[in-house]
Structure 1
Amino acid sequence: MTTPAGTMFGKFQLTQANIENIKKCVEAQWKKKNQQPPSIHLSKFAITSAYTWVCLVRVRQLKTGKVHLAITVDSRARLEPPVPSTYFGNCLSGCIADTDSDELIGEDGVAIAAAKAIAEAVRGFFSDGFLEGAKKLLPKLFSMQQGRVFNIVDSPRFEFYNIDFGWGRPRKVDVIIHDASLSLSASRDGIGGVEVGIALRKHETQAFESLFAGGLDCYKVL
């Protein structure tokens, strides 16, 4: 699907098996480099985001320098005083993962650079608290170089395929995103996979498809 802005939208899937295989390889690479098991939480979100982020940076062929991944966080459960359980609105903040592009596209970029940066950014957001994190977010966003920032707009936790307005479960869900953004949503089969949506220029989307699918061949069950 091509957007009015001239970018092409693509959707790709990581199965539960894909995610587990990547996680096992990340753990092995981390242990080999650091001589100990990972000291970070390798969640499904962190693994999926890390793999996709590395593919995006490779597609954009970004030169040496910092690259950033902005992560949107649902903060309704983190307000003080807390909002009522019946609150229907949203309350979004976020955090930013940073690392060097050369580290991301290296042989162990998913494990050593991407997963680590994402896990540390999320951990820092939770430890700082919602309000303190929000104070730091906007100044940092404005200081980052345009074209080196990617943005995650949703999370598999939202489970869009479980929404039923009386017509049954949806057959397909697409999240509207803009250039250099990605969406992560729980797959329709409901067995642990993640659907990844990206919006890039047409030739970049086609290159991403090749990298995303081909890269999975490097991750086999150990």
Structure 2
Amino acid sequence: MLTVLENCRVSPPPATVGNRSLPLTFFDAVWILFFPIHQLFFYEFPHSRSYFLEEIVPKLKHSLSITLQHFFPFAGNLVLFPNANWPSDGQKHEIRYVDGDSVSLTFAESDLDFNDLTGNHPRECHKFYPLVPLLGQPSKQSDHVAIPLFSVQVTLFPDVGISIGLTNHHCLGDAATRFNFLKAWTSITKHGTDELFLTSGSLPFYDRVIEYPDLLDEIYFNQPGIKTIGVDYKLPELVGESDKVRATVVLTLAHINRLKKWLSAQVAAPEYVSSFSVACGLVWSCIAKARARVGEQKSDDDLERFMCAVDWRSRLHPRPPQTYFGNCIGACITTPIRSSLLADNKGFLTAVEVFVDTLNKTLKNKDFLINDADTWLERAFEPVPMIGVSGTPKMNVYDVDFGWGKPKKHETPAIDYNGSISVNACKDSPGDLEIGISLSPKQMDAFISISKDELETNLIV
């Protein structure tokens, strides 16, 4: 299904960065043991292999090199000190760039069906995996382990399209950091230089200005799993066969507004519900009903919970710049509720109420770093089925244009790891929401049927 045309490594231009390091904060250290992030952008590209090799490949190499000059951590490594004990020995894990470090860039060709991959209908998840780049292997030094942070794969579907696959370790940064990087890379690719980017006010801000209790560094820098990391350390990878299928559900603004109207007519409905909350509540309840329908809910006492990330850049005091580089997101985690509450005829209402209540408490909690953040990992790894959210409609992935127009489709393969969902703004109407789902075939069939019925029922007010 895949032919590799070229494997190469891309560095910033010589003598433009030097040796630099960026200490992790607890916001970054939270993600050390988590799975990596994957994104796939599909573009219509009615050109031949020769045109791709002669025109596109050199342009992408050149523009990526210039972009890395400004976003050097993407070319660096995560440096972990397994034997360190913060704060007694003063060694903090960090992102380190040594002059000459580089990003793995692969160019390939695929004979997969481009139009099938870019549809909304259920598609086999494993078909996407050859398009997803892997991170390189860790290297063991005398006192630390160095783990690559970023890789890229550009795949040609001759005369039809191109996909650009990105993989990054979550310690590198959150969605805002990745989006700023992509805005820079696309601008430089389209214009051939970084002049426009430099005048945009979008240069990354690297100073570690976020203030938080030292206790959080002690908790997250000394996670037990870090102590066992060695040269054989390997992040989970999307390879081989999968028994899951992925589909895309589009909630139009008209759908969302009518669902809000239905919610407002209910006695216990919250005063304000965002489009994001409506989408999350609907999908959460429909997945719970799908599990019950196919017999994968063991009893009425089974518990479920929901989690999403909250961007704290605009909520911290003092406030870091919007171009702050790294992770600056916190967890919003609902308390476990019984699956049966989501699977009854008021499941949608219950899901929205539970999620909105948790979200409001999180956003209004000025002392969240003290009262909440120290338990994020503990709650995230409780033995309770949980649905998480990848992506955000606040940053439109369909604005990522390398000069070939908007993407035809965006996919988030990382949701295959744990049954999370992705939520993004749609291509043609930012008010519409595009929700990516990854489930077993039986669950997916049930989910599609249930969500259709749910929409038809709740749209009648």
Question: TM (normalized to structure 1)?
Answer: 0.86
Give the RMSD, CA atoms, in angstroms: 2.0
Could you say what secondary structure the match of 1:213 adopts?
A: helix
* Aligned residue in 1 for 2:404: 167
Structure 1 Cα separation of the partners of residues 405 and 326 of structure 2: 24
* Aligned residue in 2 for 1:101: 339
Structure 1 Cα separation of the partners of residues 342 and 331 of structure 2: 21
- Unaligned runs of 5+ residues in structure 2 are 1-122, 126-240
Number of equivalent positions: 213
Structure 1 Cα separation of the partners of residues 279 and 354 of structure 2: 13
* Aligned residue in 1 for 2:281: 50
The Cα of 1:11 is off from its aligned counterpart by 0.8
Tell me if the contact between 2:313 and 2:321 (Cα under 8 Å) persists in the aligned partners: no
Could you say what secondary structure the match of 1:85 adopts?
A: coil
In the TM superposition, structure 1's runs of 4+ consecutive aligned residues that sit over 4 Å from their partners are none
The Cα of 1:191 is off from its aligned counterpart by 4.9
Residues 191/92 of structure 1: CA separation in 2 closer, same or farther (3 Å cut): closer
Residue in structure 2 matching 1:211, options 437, 447, 450: 450
Residue in structure 2 matching 1:84, options 294, 300, 321: 321
Residue in structure 2 matching 1:131, options 369, 383, 393: 369
* Aligned residue in 2 for 1:10: 247
Residue in structure 1 matching 2:437, options 186, 198, 206: 198
Alignment of 1:29-48 (within 5 A): 29=266, 31=267, 34=268, 38-48=269-279
Q: Give the helix-richer structure, 1 or 2.
A: 1
Structure 1 Cα separation of the partners of residues 436 and 322 of structure 2: 30
Could you say what secondary structure the match of 2:436 adopts?
A: strand
Residue in structure 2 matching 1:27, options 264, 271, 290: 264
Residues 39/205 of structure 1: CA separation in 2 closer, same or farther (3 Å cut): closer
* Aligned residue in 2 for 1:64: 300
- Unaligned runs of 5+ residues in structure 1 are none
* Aligned residue in 2 for 1:141: 380
Tell me if the contact between 1:40 and 1:119 (Cα under 8 Å) persists in the aligned partners: no
Residues 85/180 of structure 1: CA separation in 2 closer, same or farther (3 Å cut): closer
1:155-208 Cα distance to aligned partner (Å, 9 max, x none):
211211122233321111112212421011111121511111111112211221
The Cα of 1:45 is off from its aligned counterpart by 0.9
Structure 1 Cα separation of the partners of residues 344 and 438 of structure 2: 24
Q: Bigger shift: 41-50 or 85-94?
A: 85-94
Could you say what secondary structure the match of 2:314 adopts?
A: helix
* Aligned residue in 1 for 2:389: 152
Tell me if the contact between 2:264 and 2:270 (Cα under 8 Å) persists in the aligned partners: no
1:131-151 Cα distance to aligned partner (Å, 9 max, x none):
233223222122242xx2111
Could you say what secondary structure the match of 2:310 adopts?
A: strand
Alignment of 1:108-119 (within 5 A): 108-111=346-349, 113-119=350-356
Tell me if the contact between 2:251 and 2:433 (Cα under 8 Å) persists in the aligned partners: yes
Residues 138/60 of structure 1: CA separation in 2 closer, same or farther (3 Å cut): same
Structure 2 Cα separation of the partners of residues 185 and 191 of structure 1: 9
Identity %: 28
Tell me if the contact between 1:161 and 1:170 (Cα under 8 Å) persists in the aligned partners: yes
Q: Counterpart of 1:103 in structure 2: which amino acid?
A: L
Q: Bigger shift: 123-132 or 191-200?
A: 123-132
Structure 1 Cα separation of the partners of residues 382 and 346 of structure 2: 28
**Larger of the two Rg values belongs to structure:** 2
Higher RCO, 1 vs 2 (CA within 8 Å, ≥6 residues apart): 1
Q: Counterpart of 1:44 in structure 2: which amino acid?
A: S
Tell me if the contact between 1:24 and 1:221 (Cα under 8 Å) persists in the aligned partners: no
Tell me if the contact between 1:9 and 1:198 (Cα under 8 Å) persists in the aligned partners: yes
Could you say what secondary structure the match of 1:87 adopts?
A: coil
